[in-house]
Amino acid sequence: MSEARNIEAGRPGNSAAREEGIVRYRQVRSRSIELAAPLSPEDQVIQSMADASPTKWHLAHTTWFFETFLLRDHLAAYRLFDDDFPYLFNSYYEAEGPRHERPARGLLSRPSLEQVHAYREHVDAAMERIIDSLTESSDGPALRRLLVLGLNHEQQHQELLLMDIKHALSRNPLRPAYSPVPKIEPSSTSPAMKMLRIAGGLVEVGYEGDGFSFDNETPRHKAWLEDYRLASRPVSNAEFLEFIDDGGYREPRWWLSDGWQTVQQEHWQAPLYWYRDDGRWLQHTLLGPRAVDPNEPVTHVSYYEADAFAAWAGKRLPTEVEWERAAMERGTDGAFADSGRFHPKPARGEGLCQMMGDVWEWTASAYAPYPGFRAAEGAVGEYNGKFMVNQQVLRGGCCVTAAGHARPSYRNFFYPHQRWMFSGIRLAEDA
């Protein structure tokens, strides 16, 4: 049963359904604390770049979301935990007023981590009261939608928490591990990449169903596709090493103009987190440094690198419609955050492998609204719509994505130069 159905199943007098909603809320909220548990208080306050946020800030911001959009306006007896917190922990919601600047979140040594935990406990106690009363409230359906959005929002920040702390720990000269377990043994084989023919025609894309989806997955609409071929699995480290060894980072003909300029400015020579040691390629992972496994999917590459590799290989990146069309018939899935692995696995099986999980896959599609898209009114409408420019769509989820977020219609988006997310490559070509 989907999260939305779990929470919306309640009716007046249905105590079991209300309890189910509270249990789901507790599960998501406690997961954030579990993910932060391996980190010291010092780990949780650092910010390694402007794009990333401290762990402590993620814990507070996800709490601010519930306080702002459910408790403040819909629970009469509720009082803000701290009058300064809306300024400190608003992210980008202009309608909610001014906020502490994003690049300086790592300067928030105060409030303490202990105070942030107390903030979460304060909000959680009030949220359980509001969940318990949803079925008796006249605006219950609207509040349920906000509640489910808040839970999915927190799961997105759980992924960001792991992305951000990986980057922070990689900048430490000791290269500490986020978590030393599980130990991952080198793989022996992975299936050969095959270009599988996918039938085109008039297709429908976008979310369909009665569960939860983000607004950018809708409305469902028709699109035309010519027949095409899609790679059976993501590009591996071994294949990307061939690109490196062939001078891929030194040859401008493979690169988009902005991509080549970025390579020159940033001195890129390999994916993010790769480094040489005594002639070997190693990579920093959430489990600490380890040798680059040739059979694992290449990850932490930018859109520019993905596009350049595809050009070098004589292929292209799929459009998001092509990707979604294929994902409707997907084969084997990869790892998600609930596996506790926090690292992509080599492909296994036949047919389409790893369409979901292990690595996000860049598409050739710019992040733009679907035909007929309308952002919600109020501050919540800023969640996705205002970012629909200058970014590229990624699909499929990764090894630090919550498993419940894996669906063919799910649209992730990042700027083309960014690569601290778990981003990989799947090739396509015209049939």
Cα distance between residue 385 and residue 370, in whole Å: 10
Rama region for 174: left / alpha / beta (φ>0; ψ in -120 to 50; rest): alpha
How far CA 76 is from CA of 26, 70, 97, 121, in Å, comes to: 22, 11, 22, 19
> Mind listing the pLDDT tens digit for each residue in 243-261?
999 999 999 999 999 999 9
Give the pLDDT score at 342.
94
pLDDT of residue 6: 37
Q: Which residue has the higher pLDDT, 341 or 188?
A: 341
Q: How far apart are CA 31 and CA 152, in angstroms?
A: 12
Q: What is the mean pLDDT of the chain?
A: 92
The band of 113, judged by pLDDT with boundaries at 50, 70 and 90, is very high
Copy the structure tokens of residue 275: 């480094």
- The backbone region for 175, taken as left when phi is positive above 0, alpha when psi lies in -120 to 50, beta otherwise, is left
C-alpha separations of 151 from 144, 351, 356, 404 in Å: 11, 34, 21, 11
Q: CA Rg, the chain, in Å?
A: 22
The vertex-80 CA angle with 148 and 97, nearest 5°, equals 80
The residue type found at 376 is: A
| Chain CA centroid to CA 357, Å | 11
Say how far apart CA 204 and CA 200 lie, in whole Å.
11
pLDDT band, residue 186 (cuts 50/70/90): confident
Q: What is the pLDDT, as a whole number, of residue 187?
A: 77
The 10s digit of each residue's pLDDT in 282-332 is: 999 999 999 999 999 999 999 999 999 999 999 999 999 999 999 988 777
8-state DSSP, 236: B
Q: State both tokens at 393.
A: 């769509």
Pairing status of strand 274-277 against strand 280-285: antiparallel
- In this structure, are residues 385 and 375 in contact, taking their beta carbons and an 8 Å threshold? yes
- Looking at the predicted structure, is the pLDDT value of residue 13 above 60? no
Phi, psi of 365 (to 5 degrees): -95, 130
pLDDT digits (tens, 9 = 90+) for 398-408: 999 999 898 99
Portion of the chain with pLDDT greater than 90, in percent: 79
What are the backbone angles phi and psi of residue 412, rounded to the nearest 5°?
-100, 160
Mention every residue, 6+ apart, whose C-beta is less than 8 A from residue 424.
234, 235, 297, 298, 299, 301, 306, 344, 358, 359, 360, 361, 362, 398
Q: What does the pLDDT read at residue 181?
A: 73
87-111 residue pLDDT tens? 999 999 998 999 999 999 999 999 9
The confidence band for 361, taking pLDDT boundaries of 50, 70 and 90, is very high
H or E stretch including 230?
A: strand 228-231
pLDDT score of 138: 62
How does pLDDT run across 40-58, given as a tens digit for each residue? Answer: 999 999 999 999 999 999 9
Q: Is the pTM of this model over 0.75?
A: yes
Provide the pLDDT for residue 1.
29
- Residue 318 is given by DSSP the state P
Q: Which of 196-205, 318-327, 344-353, 394-403 has the lowest mean pLDDT?
A: 344-353
Provide mean pLDDT across the span 77-91.
96
CB crowding 211-222: b at 16 or more within 10 Å, else e: bbbbbbbbeeee
Decide if pLDDT at 10 tops 50.
no
| pLDDT of 83 higher than 60 | yes
Beta-ladder partners of 224: 202
The residue to which tokens 């789901």 are assigned: 24
Listed in sequence order, the residues at least 6 apart from 367 whose beta carbon sits closer than 8 Å to its beta carbon are: 387, 388, 389, 391, 392, 393, 411, 413
Kind of pairing, strands 412-414 and 392-395?
antiparallel
> CB–CB of 8/151 below 8 Å?
no
Instruction: Give me the DSSP letters along 337-351.
Output: GGGS--SPPPP-SSS
Is the CB of residue 244 less than 8 Å from the CB of residue 254? no
Amino acid present at 159: E
Please, which residues bridge with residue 366 across strands? 392
Q: Collapse the DSSP code of 309 into the 3-class scheme (helix H, G, I; strand E, B; otherwise coil) and give the result.
A: helix
pLDDT at 11: 43
Q: Which residues 6+ apart lie within 8 Å of 251 measured at CB? A: 312
